[in-house]
Amino acid sequence: MGPAVRFELWLEDQVTAARLGRLETPHGPVETPVFMPVGTQASVKTLDPGEVREVGSQIILCNTYHLYLRPGADVVREAGGLHRFMAWNGPILTDSGGFQVFSLASLRRIGEEGVTFRSHIDGSSHFIGPAESIRIQEALGADIIMAFDECTPYPAPREAVERAVARTVAWARTCRAVHSRSDQALFGIVQGGVHLDLRAACAQALLELDFPGYAIGGLSVGEPRPLLYETLAHTAALLPREKPRYLMGVGTPEDMIEAIAHGVDMCDCVFPTRVARHGTAFARDGRITIRNATYARDFTPLDPECRCRVCRTYTRAYIRHLIKAGEHLGARLTTYHNLHFMHELVREAREAIRAGNFAAWKDATLARLTKDETGEG
């Protein structure tokens, strides 16, 4: 039997590190680079699976920590796995649960074997280590699963980052050893904060374990953007050319384009859906805060250049009214549009790589995206 996920690298940009490729998974192909919407609790908030597919989603991410607590991995397994449970027939990636556990600073205790923590739902006590994380993810049944890792905040003392890297590597070995499902691909996660030497050491140790794909974790946790991009560029260049590269939790439109330019194949983030629910919509000439009074009588689409169903049907004035009135439809429409916008951006990036003009496309696109609502850059 072949690998659960196969990656084909089709083309590399001659000016940047951008790459064009394809992931073959048990639930279908994924053209890369790709943006993955986050379905934290087996749901991309406000949208049904048909709409998630309609906006252009190829693969979605679900959260191990949340699904472990509710409804429980056993319930999902009895339902036939995540694909059947949530009626999504495309590829799924699950994170390890590590980031959520480590973000519960007041509710958890880290040890060499794993993390003891209290549920944010009912205060009950739980333990997740590398073996437990893999067992949960095997029960959930995603196509791609992640090794259990330790994510440090920014800033953090170097000694703390060193300890986190050591645990991440040790836990990755355990994850590799206990993983048993041949229809799932297990990716390793490179940590190391913003310390380039620690990133290199972590990557080297994980490469020796020969994972079928590698993720870059621990970024977009408070560090300045120039430092984020410097660390990203350094880390991505350490990873195998022939294997997929996944940047975890970084997903503004601007960050996604920069990530692609640095050789990243996969991105995910809650940002597009989270800001949508609070009334922020993406547009080619910068984000718009639809709650603002200036849109009360604006009868144009959210983005005049967008061809999504929302922009073909509804106006800024109407969507502003829904958001201000607390109508759920407002959040649904902005979420639909924002995800469509992200997928269109990454589709254009793929086309630009294929045409050999990615660098020019990147510069022109970023110049427009970074305008504010007054039209100023």
> Strands 108-110 and 115-118: what pairing?
antiparallel
* Residue-level pLDDT at 158: 98
* Residue-level pLDDT at 99: 78
- For the chain, 377 residues long, the average pLDDT of each consecutive 10-residue run is 90 98 98 98 98 98 96 98 98 90 75 90 93 97 97 94 97 98 98 98 98 97 96 98 97 96 97 97 97 98 98 98 98 98 98 98 97 71
Residue 130 CA to its chain's centroid (Å): 21
Q: Within 13 Å of residue 106, how many CA atoms lie on the same side as its CB?
A: 2
Q: Within 13 Å of residue 242, how many CA atoms lie on the same side as its CB?
A: 5
| Separation of alpha carbons 105 and 151, rounded Å | 12
Phi, psi (rounded to 5 degrees) for 227: -70, -35
Token representation of residue 13? 């940009």
* Residue-level pLDDT at 1: 58
- 117: part of which helix (H) or strand (E)? strand 115-118
- 161: part of which helix (H) or strand (E)? helix 158-178
| Separation of alpha carbons 170 and 87, rounded Å | 36
Please enumerate in sequence order all residues whose Cβ is within 8 A of that of 312, keeping only pairs 6 or more positions apart, or say none. 301
* Residue-level pLDDT at 377: 62
* 211 in Cβ contact with 187 (< 8 Å): yes
Catalytic residues: 95, 268
Q: Is the dihedral of CA 26, 268, 241, 196 positive or negative?
A: negative
Q: What is the 3-state secondary structure (H, E, C) of 5-72?
A: CEEEEEEECCCCCCEEEEEEECCEEEEECEEECEECCCCCCCCCHHHHHHCCCCCEEECHHHHHHCCC
* Residue-level pLDDT at 374: 65
Question: Angle 6-19-337 (CA atoms, 0-180°, nearest 5)?
Answer: 90
Token representation of residue 328? 């759920």
pTM above the 0.85 mark? yes
Residue 187 CA to its chain's centroid (Å): 14
Q: For residue 157, what is the DSSP state?
A: -
Helix (H, G, I), strand (E, B) or coil at 144: strand
* 75 in Cβ contact with 66 (< 8 Å): no
Question: Angle 152-124-100 (CA atoms, 0-180°, nearest 5)?
Answer: 25
* Residue-level pLDDT at 92: 98
CA-closest candidate to residue 30, choices 365, 288, 347, 359: 347
* Residue-level pLDDT at 100: 76
Q: For residue 285, what is the DSSP state?
A: T
* Residue-level pLDDT at 376: 65
Residue 305 CA to its chain's centroid (Å): 25
Residue 326 CA to its chain's centroid (Å): 28
Phi, psi (rounded to 5 degrees) for 29: -85, 160
| Separation of alpha carbons 72 and 235, rounded Å | 35
List of domains in the chain = 6-269 (3.20.20.105), 276-369 (no CATH)
* 245 in Cβ contact with 216 (< 8 Å): yes
